[in-house]
Amino acid sequence: MRVLFLHADRFSYEVTGETSITKQLDPIPPEMLKGNADNVLVCMISIEKGDGDTLQGVVDKAAADIADQCEKVDSKNVFLYPYAHLSPTLETPRTAVKILDQLAVSLSGLNKFTVYRAPFGFYKRFDIKVKGHPLSELGRTIRVEEGEKESSGLKAEEEKISEWLIMTPDGKVTSADDFNFQEHRLFKTFFDYETQGSRLSEEAPPHIRLMQEHELVDYEPASDAGNFRWYPKGYVMKKILEEQINAVLNQYGAMQVETPIMYSLNHPALAKYLDKFPARQYTVSSDKSEYFLRFAACFGQYLMKHDMQISYRQLPIRLYELTHFSFRREQTGELVGLKRLRAFTMPDMHTLCADIPQSIEEMLNQVKLCLEWMDNLGFKRDEYVVALRAVKGFYEENGDYVKRIAEYCGTPILIELWPEQYFYFITKFEVNCVDSQGKASALSTVQIDVKNPADFGITYIDKNSEPQHPMMLHTSVSGSIDRNLYALLEQEAIKMKKGQKTSFPFWLSPTQIRLIPVKDDHLPHALELAKKLPGRIDIDDRSETVSKRIRMAEKEWIPLIIVLGDKEIDSDTLPVRIRGKKETENLTVEQVCEYFDGEMKGKVLRPLNLPMLVSHRPQFRG
């Protein structure tokens, strides 16, 4: 199937006559002789030869792609318009009509679009006014490849049988059916999502609007879906998160490495691993060989560990890589802003341990790192949900580790038990963000892997000088860096709904201090003051009124705002507007520095990633 997307102010058509194939098809209802719609995504569609062989797969992919494009252009109207001129090899008319019918039903079933149809097999004239923005014209080829299949890991994820329990901080366990959710609304939302929810989003989540309004991140129409452009403000936030997690893991004793982003599909151990891992891969060709783009940093670290000489005295051994990038060919309908990407940055740590007891102790230490990371992001313990997943036999033999996790969290944790081992890991810890739409995404994770060390020939020498296969922990203390920003923005969107003040964590704010000179004469003083103050400081020297510039700074969620006029120049104190506080505080330069140091304790500091003078900055979004 080939589709030309046209985002139009208006579109209309009218049937002008029959073609040679009209009589092969069923009669059309009179209302299909003409049609029109405003603010509509027009889908000019050619059904190609072979689409009927994979009919449902093509329909599913097309529906997801159309839904994704509607979200990007913010249109609730879809027009399916048969257009044979996009392809030289066309499917039979009856099959083409069947696919179009099912596509219309599939889109209508999402309950978020008004779907319009033009008839197949007629001459028609149409009138269209295309909007002309970067996403208003886009072509797609939608195809289900022969032999395309899901990995056994994906199938296991879909087919696994689960028992759900809940453990409170005091270690008491109840079934989900018996648990009182009344005082744990977020926990209930997460449980419902885990047991009944769908990853598909029915509407654009608010973090997309926020990331665009703040000029942080945006869609890149020239790339594959799920790949983004990062503007200067978003880039500095991303880099700060990366440097902070590097500092955390280096301090913890992990050794940073770098590995390739692509690997051979024919490598025996890797081919076996691909079938077990619940992810979809990108593939590339080079010199008649096939490669896949990594979806985590596992492969390079496995192969590196295979070649290492390791003694039991050196365990646990921790390697990690901050991946630029990892790639997962997620389904189009699941690609929603920064929540789920096809190219993302993630710190991936793999720890070798001698046995189960050492693995559990290491897991508990790493769980603490995950919880501390959430603290640093500004999340309270009741603003996210912890889940623990395990093979039932392992849980029953080693249940004390779950009690310790529940105690660390201080909130109930959801426990999912499997009757058998579906994956390479026997237990998995997760920190989950629940967004403003009630959908959940995992950030931090720790897993105990009992399979891959043997599959990849990783060994250590034990006390008796005998080679043994270790256990291995898969850990991402922060989770995807991109998804961290999604979680932060969604959390602020929830606050906005409640009428609360929104903000970025001080240490992550693209601008931490903004100086606003009242007049041009005050600009030199502002420039001198900027040299005395720490952090990412800018100066709003635009010709707007002071009150308007203050409102602009508030709209950017800038933590500290200082207005400088004649009075301030002659004073020993500065009028500091601290975000979240009603009253302006008069602080000396030294006190501002002390406030800054208190907020930045233990955090990395990067310089401003924009011109200091706001008037010198380009506008990245129209």
pLDDT score at 225: 85
- In whole angstroms, how far apart are CA 397 and each of 391, 392, 400, 426, 622? 10, 9, 9, 12, 59
Q: State how far the Cα of 583 lies from the Cα of 575, in Å rounded to an integer.
A: 10
Task: In whole angstroms, give the CA distance from residue 347 to residue 316.
Answer: 18
Q: What pLDDT does residue 148 have?
A: 47
Give the whole-angstrom CA distance, residue 426 versus residue 445.
13
Q: Measure the CA–CA gap between 199 and 339, rounded to whole angstroms.
A: 10
Angle, CA 137 vertex, CA 136 and CA 142 arms, to 5°: 120
pLDDT of residue 245: 97
Give how far Cα 609 sits from Cα of 232, 236, 542, 550, 586, Å.
6, 6, 19, 21, 28
CATH tag for 2-141 (out of 3.30.420.40, 2.60.40.10, 3.30.565.10, 3.50.80.10) = 3.50.80.10
**What is the predicted pLDDT for the residue at 150?**
46
Q: What per-residue confidence (pLDDT) applies to 373?
A: 97
Whose tokens are 């994704």? That residue is 68
The answer to whether domain 2-141 and domain 198-491 are alike in fold is no
Cα 617–chain centre separation: 28
Tokens linked to 39: 């603010």
**What per-residue confidence (pLDDT) applies to 332?**
67
Q: Which fold has domain 198-491?
A: BirA Bifunctional Protein; domain 2 (3.30.930)
At 360, list the tokens: 């559990």
pLDDT, residue 270, reads: 82
Mean pLDDT in order along the chain per 10 residues (622 residues): 94 93 85 94 92 82 89 92 90 89 82 87 94 88 62 53 92 92 90 75 82 95 90 98 97 96 85 67 84 90 96 97 90 80 94 97 97 96 94 92 94 93 90 91 95 93 96 96 96 94 97 97 96 97 97 97 94 95 95 97 96 96 79
Beta-ladder partners of 323: 346
- CB distance 438 to 455 below 8 Å: no
Locate tokens 């190219």: which residue? 343
Is pTM beyond 0.95 here? no
Cα separation, 304 vs 11, in Å, equals 58
Cα 167 off chain centre by: 28
Measured CA to CA, the distance from residue 282 to residue 55 in angstroms comes to 23
Fold for 506-616, please state it: Rossmann fold (3.40.50)
Domain boundaries, the chain: 2-141, 198-491, 506-616
